[in-house]
C-alpha cells in the first residue's frame, strides 16, 4: 500500500536510498545536493541502514571511492552537483569504462564562472559523453522513482546511471508524493550479485588495466553497444516498476502531442510550466503539445522521431549552452535524430534559464507564438534564441 508523504526532492531521494540500503555511499557536500548525504547520514547513524558512509575530501575522491567499492563488489550510490560533478569528470569515464553500476544523483546546478548556485543543466549536459546513462525527472515523485529504478538499470546493463533533477526547484521544494513500502523496494531492487569483482575468491580479475591499440577500440565499442541496449533495459525496468507503483514511465512523456501542430521539447521542472501553457493554448483552439525526455542518454532517436514527425514546427528549449556558436546540447541530439531518421521539419532552439533565470508561462507562450508565426509566414528556421536575456 502506498505511503503518502510530503517531502522535498532531496529528502525523497535520501529515503529511496535508505530503502535500497546500498553497501557504500562515498560523498562530499555541495549545494544543492548536500541535503541528500545529510539526510542519509542520519539513517546511517540511527541504524536504519548498514551502509558504509564515507565522508571524503573532494568530489574527485567521492567518485574514486565509489569506483573502488564497486570494483570490489559493493552496491554503491552517491550525489553531487555543478562543480562537484566537474571535479569528478576524470573518474566518470573510468566508472563507465570499467562497467561499474554506480548510481549518481546529480542535482542540476549551473557551472561556474561566474559563481552561481542555482539551476540549469550545464553540469550534467557537460558530461553527456562520459558513458553514464542519464535519467531526468520533473517532480519530487519522479526523482524518488528514478532513484529506485536506476539501481536496477545500472546493475542489469553494467553501466553507471545519473539521476538528474533541478536544484532548489525540485530538490528543496516540498511536494506530496507516494512512497513505496520498504519491503516492496527491497524486493524490487533485489540482492546485488556482481558477475566480476575484485573480492571474489573464485575468480581472479584485473580492474583498470593498461589497454593499448590492440584492444582499446573494441572495449570502447562494447560500451557504446551497452548504451544502445540500455534503452530496452530501461523500458523493462520501468514496466516492472509500474506493476508495483501504478506509475507509468516511458523513454519520454508526451503531453497533448498526438495531434499537435506546434510542440516543445523541454526537460525537468520547466515541463510543468509548459504543460500549463499547452492547456491554455488548447482552450484557445491552438494545437500545442509537449515532449518531455526522461531518458537523454541513450537518446531514443527512433522513438523520438516517431513521436514528433506529425508536427509542423518544433522548438527545443535548452537550459544549457554548449558554447559552440551553434546551439544547445539537446537541440543537437534532436536535430541529429531527425536527420538520422529522414524526417525534415523546422526546429528552433531556445537557450533559457541559465543560472536560475526564471522562465515564466508568458516566455513559453512566446515560443509557441513564434512557432505559429513561422508556420503562417513560412519563415523557416532562425538562429538560436536566448530567451529572456537582457541585451
Q: Which domains does the chain have, with CATH numbers?
A: 3-245 (3.40.50.970), 252-387 (3.40.50.920)
Determine which helix (DSSP H) or strand (DSSP E) holds 3, and give its type and residue range: strand 3-8
| Nearest one of 389, 311, 304 to 350, comparing CA atoms | 389
Per-residue model confidence (pLDDT) at position 391: 80
Question: Mean pLDDT of successive 10-residue segments in the chain (391 residues)?
Answer: 93 98 98 98 98 98 98 98 98 97 98 97 98 98 98 98 98 98 98 94 90 96 97 98 98 98 98 98 98 98 97 97 94 97 95 97 97 88 88 80
Classify the C-alpha dihedral 170-176-178-182 as positive or negative: positive
Q: What is the pTM of this model?
A: 0.97
Cis bond leading into 172, ω under 30°?
no
> How confident is the model at residue 379, as a pLDDT?
79
**Backbone phi, then psi, for 324, in 5-degree steps?**
-110, 5
Q: Cβ neighbours of residue 81 under 8 Å, at least 6 residues apart? A: 30, 31, 32, 33, 106, 107, 108, 109, 123, 167
- Report which secondary-structure segment, H or E, holds 74: none
d(CA 168, CA 378): 40
* Cis status, amide bond into 380, omega within 30 of 0: no
Name the DSSP letter for residue 320: S
Task: Return the DSSP state at 112.
Answer: P
Q: Given the C-alpha cell 512566446, which residue does it identify? A: 366
For residues 203 and 336, what is the distance between their CA atoms, to the nearest angstrom?
43
CA atoms of 116 and 339, how far apart (whole Å): 36
In the numeric block, which cell numbers belong to residue 164? 538528474
Instruction: List the grid coordinates of 123.
Output: 553540469
**The length of the chain, given as a count of residues:** 391
Determine the Cα–Cα distance for residues 174 and 11; give it in Å rounded to an integer.
9
**What backbone torsions phi and psi does residue 345 show, to the nearest 5 degrees?**
-150, 155
DSSP three-state, residue 107: strand
Cα separations in angstroms, 356 against 60, 206, 286, 360: 25, 44, 29, 12
pLDDT at 57: 97
How far is the CA of 150 from the CAs of 2, 118, 158, 160, in angstroms? 20, 25, 11, 9
Measured CA to CA, the distance from residue 20 to residue 4 in angstroms comes to 19
The β-bridge relationship of strands 313-318 and 295-297 is unpaired
- pLDDT given for residue 210 in this prediction: 92
Q: What is the DSSP letter of 106?
A: E
Closest by alpha carbon to 124, among 135, 145, 108, 146?
108
Task: Say how far apart CA 170 and CA 166 lie, in whole Å.
Answer: 5
Other residues' Cβ atoms within 10 Å of the Cβ of residue 57: 8
pLDDT at 286: 97
Residue 250 CB partners (closer than 8 Å, separation 6+) = 235, 238, 294
Amino acid at each position: 500500500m502506498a505511503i503518502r508523504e510530503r517531502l522535498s526532492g532531496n529528502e525523497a531521494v535520501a529515503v529511496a536510498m535508505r530503502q535500497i540500503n546500498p553497501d557504500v555511499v562515498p560523498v562530499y557536500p555541495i549545494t544543492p545536493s548536500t541535503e541528500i548525504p545529510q539526510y542519509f547520514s542520519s539513517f546511517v547513524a540511527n541504524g536504519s541502514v548498514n551502509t558504509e558512509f564515507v565522508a571524503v575530501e573532494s568530489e574527485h575522491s567521492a567518485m574514486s571511492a565509489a569506483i573502488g567499492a564497486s570494483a570490489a563488489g559493493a552496491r554503491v550510490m552517491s550525489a553531487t552537483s555543478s562543480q562537484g560533478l566537474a571535479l569528478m569528470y576524470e573518474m566518470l569515464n573510468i566508472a563507465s569504462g570499467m562497467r561499474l553500476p554506480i548510481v549518481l544523483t546529480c542535482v542540476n546546478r549551473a557551472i561556474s564562472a561566474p559563481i552561481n548556485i542555482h539551476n540549469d543543466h550545464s553540469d550534467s549536459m557537460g558530461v553527456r559523453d562520459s558513458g553514464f546513462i542519464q535519467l531526468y525527472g520533473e517532480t519530487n515523485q519522479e526523482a524518488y522513482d528514478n532513484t529506485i529504478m536506476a539501481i536496477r538499470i545500472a546493475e542489469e546493463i553494467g553501466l553507471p546511471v545519473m539521476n538528474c533533477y533541478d536544484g532548489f526547484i525540485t530538490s528543496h521544494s516540498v511536494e506530496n508524493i507516494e512512497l513505496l513500502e520498504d519491503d516492496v523496494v527491497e524486493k524490487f531492487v533485489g540482492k546485488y550479485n556482481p558477475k566480476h569483482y575484485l573480492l571474489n575468491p573464485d575468480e581472479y580479475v584485473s580492474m583498470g588495466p593498461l589497454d593499448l591499440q590492440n584492444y582499446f577500440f573494441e572495449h570502447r565499442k562494447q560500451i557504446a553497444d551497452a548504451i544502445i541496449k540500455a534503452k530496452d533495459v530501461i523500458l523493462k525496468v520501468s514496466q516492472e516498476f509500474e506493476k508495483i507503483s501504478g506509475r507509468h514511465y516511458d523513454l519520454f512523456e508526451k503531453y497533448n502531442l498526438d495531434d499537435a501542430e506546434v510542440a516543445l521539447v523541454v526537460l525537468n521542472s520547466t515541463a510543468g510550466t509548459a504543460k500549463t501553457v499547452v492547456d491554455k493554448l488548447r482552450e484557445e483552439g491552438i494545437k500545442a503539445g509537449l515532449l518531455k525526455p526522461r531518458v537523454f542518454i541513450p537518446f531514443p532517436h527512433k522513438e523520438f522521431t516517431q513521436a514528433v514527425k506529425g508536427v509542423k514546427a518544433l522548438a527545443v528549449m535548452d537550459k544549457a549552452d554548449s558554447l559552440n556558436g551553434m546551439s544547445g546540447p539537446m537541440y543537437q541530439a534532436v536535430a541529429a535524430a531527425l536527420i538520422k531518421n529522414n524526417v525534415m521539419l523546422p526546429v528552433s532552439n531556445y537557450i533559457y534559464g541559465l543560472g536560475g533565470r526564471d522562465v515564466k508561462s508568458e516566455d513559453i507562450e512566446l515560443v509557441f507564438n513564434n512557432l505559429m508565426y513561422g508556420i503562417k509566414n513560412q519563415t523557416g528556421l532562425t538562429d538560436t534564441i536566448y530567451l529572456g536575456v537582457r541585451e
